[in-house]
Amino acid sequence: MSELLNENFHIEKTSLFDFHNQMNAKMVSFGGYYLPINYAGGIISEHIHTRSKASIFDVSHMGQIEINGPFIMEALEKILPISFSKMLPGKVKYTQFINHEGKIIDDLMVHRTDNENSVWLVVNAACKEKDIEHLRASLNKNFDINLRNDLSLIAIQGPKAEESLLKLIPSLLNMDFMSSNWTNHKNYKILVTRCGYTGEDGFEISVPNKYVTSFTESLLKNPDVKLAGLGARDSLRLEAGLCLYGHDISLKTSPIEAGLKWSLCKDRVSSADFIGGNAIRVEVNKGPVRSLLGFLPKGRAPAREGTLIYDSNDNLIGEVTSGGFSPSLGVPISMGYINTPSLDQKEIFLDVRGKKIPADVVKLPFVPHNYFKKGD
C-alpha cells in the first residue's frame, strides 16, 4: 500500500491552507495546489451532507481571469462557441476552449458582466497557463488579461446553500441559476455566482484572499453548513454526470462526443466561425464516433478510469473515463465512452483486474440535478 504515501514536491497553497490544517483536513496535491481531500468525517459523510444540507469547498485553485478591452465579447466569440448577444449582462455560461481539430483545450465558465468592455472567466487549475497562452495567441494584444490571484474562490453547495448565504447577505435572494453579481460584504467586494459542480443548487463566491478565512468561518457558524473536500467534490460531480477535464474530456475528446452539444450555440455551430468550428460542424452533421454514457456495474467492485469496455462477443467497444462509488446510491458508478456502432448494447462488460463484470448502460446523470429554478 505504498501508494498511500504522498510525494513531497513544491505545490502552491491557497489562502485557506492554515485553516484547512486547523480543521484537521487530510491534504493532497491537486492541479498544483495543496487542498483537502477530506476532513475528519470522511468522504462519504461529506458527500451525503452536501446532498441533504450544504457544504463549503475551497476551489481557489481554479483560475479566475478578467479580460478588459473594447469589443472583448466580439473577440472572445472568435474562440468560444457562444453568443454574448443572447446573454444578458450578469449571465454565466458553461463553455469550452476548442482547438482547430475540434477537441477540448479546457472547459470553463464565462460571465457577461455589466461592463461591455470586461469579461470574467473561471478555468481549471491545471489548464490556467495553457488557457492564458491560448487567449494571448488568439486575442489582439490590446486586451488586458489578468489572472486574479488576489481572489480566493469558495463554493457552497447543497439544498441549504441559499438559505445559509442569505443569512450573511440577504440581498442575494432569488438569484437566477447561472447568473453572477458583485456585491459588498463588510466593506469588501465579492463576486457571487449561482452555479456549481455537484448537481445541487449552490454558489461559487470570489472573495479577496485576506477575507476568505473569516468569510468561510461566518458561513460555518450555521450548523447546516460543513466543510467538504475534493473527494466528495469528485463523487458528487460523478453522480451528477459532470465531466472532469483531463479525465472525461481532454485534447483527445470533442464536446459533441462528451454530450456537451447543449452548451454550444446552434447558430455558431452552423456558421462555424470560431476556432474549431469547421471540425465541430462536420462532427455534428456526421455524428460523433463515440459517446459518453453512464454504467452501473453489477456487484460492488468500482470500475475506475482506464477500465476497458467489451460487448458480449468480447469486442473492445470503449473505455471508462471516471468511475468510483456512489455514496447516494450505495453502488459503484462509472462513465466513459462507447464507440458509435456499439451504442445499442444494453449490457456491456467492464474488465476489472481481468474479471469481466456485466454492467447496465444508463443515461447521465446518475442522480437528478437539483438546480434552482425561479418559482420553486
The residue within the footprint of another protein, chosen from 10, 141, 346, 353 (CB under 8 A), is 353
Handedness of CA 126, 206, 259, 241 (dihedral sign): positive
The residue within the footprint of another protein, chosen from 12, 29, 32, 44 (CB under 8 A), is 44
The number of residues that bind another protein (CB under 8 A) is 21
The residue within the footprint of another protein, chosen from 274, 325, 349, 372 (CB under 8 A), is 325
Q: How far apart are CB 36 and another protein at their closest, in Å?
A: 12
- Nearest to another protein of 46, 201 (CB atom): 46
Per DSSP, the residues of 117-185 read TEEEEEE-GGGHHHHHHHHHHHS-TTSEEEE-TTEEEEEEESTTHHHHHHHH-GGGTTPPTTBEEEEEE
Does 294 contact another protein by CB under 8 A? no
Which one, of 317, 280, 122, lies nearest residue 204 by Cα? 122
Q: How far apart are CB 43 and another protein at their closest, in Å?
A: 4
Q: How far apart are CB 271 and another protein at their closest, in Å?
A: 44
Furthest CA-CA distance within the chain: 66
Question: DSSP assignment, residue 6?
Answer: P
> Among all chains, which residue has been given the C-alpha cell 461529506?
46
Does 43 contact another protein by CB under 8 A? yes
Which one, of 76, 65, 72, lies nearest residue 115 by Cα? 72
> Among all chains, which residue has been given the C-alpha cell 478565512?
213
The residue within the footprint of another protein, chosen from 14, 15, 38, 152 (CB under 8 A), is 38
Q: How far apart are CB 124 and another protein at their closest, in Å?
A: 20
Rule CB under 8 A: which of 296-315 touch another protein?
300-302, 304
- Nearest to another protein of 2, 313 (CB atom): 2
Which one, of 344, 347, 368, 374, lies nearest residue 358 by Cα? 347
The residue within the footprint of another protein, chosen from 235, 254, 322, 345 (CB under 8 A), is 235
Q: How far apart are CB 134 and another protein at their closest, in Å?
A: 32
Rule CB under 8 A: which of 329-348 touch another protein?
332
Does 27 contact another protein by CB under 8 A? no
- Contact partners, residue 279, CB within 8 Å, separation at least 6: 98, 100, 101, 102, 254
The residue within the footprint of another protein, chosen from 324, 333, 351, 366 (CB under 8 A), is 324
CB-CB neighbours of 347 under 10 Å: 11
- Chain residues binding another protein by CB under 8 A are 1-4, 26, 37-38, 42-44, 231, 235, 300-302, 304, 324-325, 327, 332, 353
